[in-house]
């Protein structure tokens, strides 16, 4: 379902006559003060929308549809594939390589310079591979808002011209009367005008795990979204009962539409890693440029080379020295990390986020469905004056069995036929059936022996529901509801198998139990019954009842969630729960999970200024009754304090915060389409332990990126310095073709293998790295400088020995081969940063074997003519191997010394 472009939608607005100059429903582009439909009486709502209970006329509905637009989510036009492809070239490193390729290709048309076309084509191939990989990843991720279109594509029933008919939900207009029933998806935000035991599941929108009972009664103007019981919201579901509601907001004016509008206005920030790579490319260009100019000066004024040769050789040296393989290896490392994360149930939607996980120092997590199972479960039963843990609840006890029986008879959930016996209905009703089954009651037999004859639906005024059943020649009424409401209608209670008066002392004991269970964050229901020996009652069924007991339920934590949070704490990561639930429930779950107990309600945060909010969030563990706006403000406050924040969630209410967070993680099983498309990652198994696994993988990937970047830059700069030094001595030791070959053989293959290095044992025992910490820190700069110094000495010795053994060509061949041999030992030195065994990465060993084999081919086959080298005899190997070995051993000790010299907190 497509919609007009946002810019077009902004040109429209529709208003309906309101009192006191207020403005009604509006389309995108205007933001007047919203009408508090939830706080107005039904008659006034109908009057303001100029409609009535029989519904609009077909003609009026068509007119409003024409004026106000369809009930659709508008979206920006997607970027075309060509524009996405061209976008990949807006990268400093890519542009620099393209310039070098074009220049090398142009020079190849000069006399005797045709060989430079190989250089140009090689660089171009590297650029194209990097660009294509980046394009494919971004093209996959370009589904950001398309899922929003699918949210409202369904049929719904409305009343028009006093006749009920089924229409496409996109044709709903403000003023339409919606006919709602159990199992139906709500098509728009609407004000309830009739409700018969109607309850909705709003967990995706508000985070509340318990169904919300709906009533036509107005609520306070400042009621939070979760407390607006007089409203139903688009994209939520009716789980129980029936009702009528008048549509007050459609399309982009709905709560879901506001989320979509916020997402459209939010731009993706480049990750710190992307910024760092661009910075590093510029730094490399400057460094190599300075060295190239220095070499040009030496060639021109000391060696007296012809100007054209100086330009060509200097250009060739600069082009060949640039680590062309770096963009490919970076992409490969991130893609490899993404595949590893997918194997651990975390799918990455944007590659650049992979390394960002290593910087996460704060996780803001939703409660329902993320930390908890999103399934109500019985925890305690109160009967006979005692609180009984669920493990001890069994139907063999008559009093306990009667409490459980009341829960399954005064219940609207259905046990489906079939092998799985799936329970369909309200979360609380299904929980009571599951607990009764576990305790030993036969649901089918109990319901068959207690056929229902009457039902008194739940109402917000009575706060209870009652059903009447026939049993053994008499009638029994069972009731459930708010504990206080049930208790006020009871005159007796069961205790010790007997019915006893519910005197003041017993009432106090029951209320004390209620307070205790509610303080533990549980959802408490009271249950009662009344027996009628004569005819079935038509009234009075809810009077003079016998109090049976209480059932206390909670949405329990997921298995392993507490251990995961403990792991996160051990890794220096702070965990904050942001939930739509109340403070008591949130604290109870947080306590079980090991999350702190410092809780603050969203209303309190709404009153704070930006600076006050930042300060308040310094020690908050739980934010309760959170709205989407509060979630976003909390994230901004944390980010203002320079925290790198990951946010987990599964609902529509999480979408803006997921997109704003540095790393958004959506639940794959329970997550809404909006949540998944807004997140940078999707957790396939909805298991919070996958978060820690993803963070561990992110830290490993960054460590490896740091290692192969260290390796590539130290070898490239080392080559330039050696060329400069030997040029000063009167020699030009390496041609552009040699340098290009070295880049292919020693850079791309080993560096790619380094990307597969395993994680170090302490990777989740150290604090997160700062998100603005550069790839090249102090210790790496020091090791690169040390590497350049020792390789200069080693290569100078080898070149001098070659001159003595066979002349300039022999010396150049020895230097050419020594650089390839030295590459592997340089890799081993770089790995000293993580103290990894030589055998921990077999791919690296195979890559070195491949590099040496290729070099031997270049030496001892006709390929040597391409490079202008000659085969080496045993004398060269006797010199090269010991010098390279000693240089490498020196590098190992030098690296260890540097690591001891530079404290960990400065790296």
| Strand blocks (E) in 588-636 | 599-601, 622-624
Q: How far from the centroid of its chain's Cα atoms is residue 179's Cα?
A: 36
Taking residue 902's Cβ as centre, other Cβ atoms within 10 Å add up to 17
Considering only CA atoms, which of 477, 482, 498, 489 is closest in space to residue 406? 477
CA gap 421, 414 in Å, rounded: 9
Supply 673's token pair.
Answer: 């389409």
For residues 353 and 644, the answer to whether their CB atoms sit within 8 Å is no
Supply 394's token pair.
Answer: 């069994």
Which DSSP category does 170 fall into?
Answer: G
CB-based burial of residue 84 (10 Å sphere; 0-12 exposed, 13-18 middle, 19+ buried)? middle
Distances (CA, A) of 664 to 229, 432, 504: 30, 35, 53
Q: How many CA atoms lie within 13 A of 476 on its CB side?
A: 18
CA gap 221, 461 in Å, rounded: 19
Taking residue 68's Cβ as centre, other Cβ atoms within 10 Å add up to 22
CA gap 531, 491 in Å, rounded: 13
For residues 554 and 523, the answer to whether their CB atoms sit within 8 Å is yes
Distances (CA, A) of 902 to 439, 772, 783: 63, 19, 11
Each residue of 326-340: b (16+ CB within 10 Å) or e? bbbbbbbbbbbbbeb
CA gap 757, 643 in Å, rounded: 28
For residues 327 and 130, the answer to whether their CB atoms sit within 8 Å is yes
Considering only CA atoms, which of 554, 649, 674, 543 is closest in space to residue 257? 674
**Active site residues per annotation:** 366
Q: What angle (nearest 5°) sits at the alpha carbon of residue 735, between those of residues 730 and 739?
A: 120
């Amino acid at each position: 379902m497509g919609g007009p472009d946002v810019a077009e939608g902004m040109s429209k607005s529709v208003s309906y006559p309101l009192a006191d100059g207020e403005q009604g429903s509006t389309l995108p582009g205007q933001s007047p003060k919203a009408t508090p439909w939830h706080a107005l009486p039904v008659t006034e709502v109908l009057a303001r929308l100029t409609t009535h209970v029989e519904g609009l006329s077909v003609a009026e509905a068509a007119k409003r549809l024409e004026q106000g637009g369809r009930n659709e989510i508008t979206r920006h036009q997607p970027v075309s594939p060509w524009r996405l492809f061209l976008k990949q070239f807006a990268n400093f490193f890519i542009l620099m390589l393209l310039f070098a390729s074009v220049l090398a290709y142009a020079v190849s048309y000069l006399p005797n310079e045709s060989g430079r076309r190989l250089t140009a084509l090689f660089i171009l191939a590297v650029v194209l591979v990097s660009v294509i990989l980046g394009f494919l990843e971004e093209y996959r991720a370009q589904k950001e808002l398309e899922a929003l279109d699918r949210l409202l594509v369904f049929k719904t029933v409305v009343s028009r011209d006093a006749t009920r008919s089924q229409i496409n939900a996109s044709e709903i207009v403000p003023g339409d009367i919606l006919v709602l029933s159990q199992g139906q998806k709500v098509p728009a935000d609407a004000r309830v005008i009739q409700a018969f035991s109607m309850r909705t599941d709003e967990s995706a929108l508000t985070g509340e795990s318990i169904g919300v009972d709906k009533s036509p009664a107005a609520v306070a103007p400042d009621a939070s979204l979760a407390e607006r019981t007089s409203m139903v919201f688009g994209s939520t579901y009716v789980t129980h009962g029936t009702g009528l509601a008048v549509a007050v907001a459609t399309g982009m004016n709905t709560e879901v539409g506001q989320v979509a509008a916020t997402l459209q206005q939010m731009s993706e920030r480049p990750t710190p890693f992307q910024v760092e790579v661009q910075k590093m490319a510029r730094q490399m260009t400057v460094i190599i440029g300075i060295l190239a100019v220095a070499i040009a000066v030496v060639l021109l004024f000391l060696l007296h080379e012809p100007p054209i040769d100086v330009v060509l050789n200097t250009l060739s040296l600069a082009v060949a020295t640039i680590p062309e393989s770096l963009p490919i290896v970076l992409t490969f490392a991130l893609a490899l990390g993404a595949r590893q994360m997918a194997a651990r149930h975390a799918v990455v939607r944007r590659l650049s986020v992979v390394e960002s996980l290593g910087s996460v120092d704060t996780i803001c997590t939703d409660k329902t469905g993320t930390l908890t199972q999103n399934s109500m479960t019985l925890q305690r039963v109160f009967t006979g004056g005692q609180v009984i843990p669920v493990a001890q609840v069994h139907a063999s006890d008559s009093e306990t069995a009667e409490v459980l029986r009341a829960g399954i008879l005064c219940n609207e959930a259905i046990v489906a036929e079939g092998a799985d016996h799936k329970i369909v209905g309200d979360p609380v009703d299904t929980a009571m059936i599951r607990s009764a089954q576990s305790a030993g009651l036969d649901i089918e037999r109990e319901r068959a022996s207690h056929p229902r004859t009457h039902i008194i639906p739940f109402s917000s005024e009575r706060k209870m529901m009652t059903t009447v059943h026939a049993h053994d020649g008499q009638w029994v009424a069972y009731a459930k509801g708010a504990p206080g409401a049930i208790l006020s209608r009871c005159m007796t209670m069961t205790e010790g198998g007997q019915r006893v008066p519910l005197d003041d002392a017993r009432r106090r004991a029951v209320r004390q139990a209620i307070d205790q269970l509610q303080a533990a964050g549980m959802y408490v229901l009271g249950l009662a019954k009344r027996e009628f020996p004569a005819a079935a009652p038509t009234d009075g069924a809810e009077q003079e009842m016998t109090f049976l007991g209480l059932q206390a339920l909670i949405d329990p934590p997921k298995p392993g969630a507490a251990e995961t949070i403990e792991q996160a704490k051990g890794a220096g990561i702070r965990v904050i729960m942001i939930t739509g639930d109340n403070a008591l429930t949130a604290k109870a779950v947080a306590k079980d999970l090991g999350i702190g107990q410092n809780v603050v309600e969203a209303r309190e945060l709404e009153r704070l200024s930006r600076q006050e909010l930042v300060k308040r969030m310094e020690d908050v563990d739980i934010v309760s009754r959170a709205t989407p706006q509060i979630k976003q403000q909390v994230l901004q406050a944390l980010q203002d304090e320079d925290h790198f924040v990951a946010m987990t969630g599964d609902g529509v209410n999480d979408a803006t915060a997921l997109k704003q967070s540095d790393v958004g993680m959506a639940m794959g099983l329970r997550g809404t389409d909006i949540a998944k498309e807004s997140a940078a990652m999707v957790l396939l198994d909805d298991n919070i332990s996958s978060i820690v696994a993803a963070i561990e993988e992110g830290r490993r990937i960054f460590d490896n990126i740091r290692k192969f970047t260290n390796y590539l830059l130290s070898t490239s700069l080392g080559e330039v310095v050696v060329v400069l030094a030997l040029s000063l001595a009167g020699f030009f030791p390496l041609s552009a073709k040699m340098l290009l070959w070295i880049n292919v053989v020693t850079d791309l293959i080993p560096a790619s293998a380094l990307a597969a290095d395993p994680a170090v044992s302490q990777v989740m025992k150290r604090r997160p790295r700062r998100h603005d910490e550069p790839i090249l820190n102090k210790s790496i700069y020091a090791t690169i400088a040390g590497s350049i110094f020792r390789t200069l000495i080693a290569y100078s010795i080898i070149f001098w020995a070659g001159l003595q053994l066979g002349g300039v060509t022999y010396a150049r061949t020895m230097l050419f081969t020594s650089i390839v041999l030295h590459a592997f030992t340089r890799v081993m030195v770089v790995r000293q940063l993580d103290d990894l065994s030589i055998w921990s990465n077999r791919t690296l060993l195979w890559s070195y074997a491949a590099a040496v084999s290729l070099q031997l081919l270049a030496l001892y086959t006709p390929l040597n003519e391409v490079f202008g080298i000659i085969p080496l005899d045993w004398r060269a190997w006797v010199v090269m191997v010991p010098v390279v070995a000693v240089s490498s051993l020196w590098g190992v000790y030098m690296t260890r010394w540097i690591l001891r010299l530079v404290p960990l907190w400065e790296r």
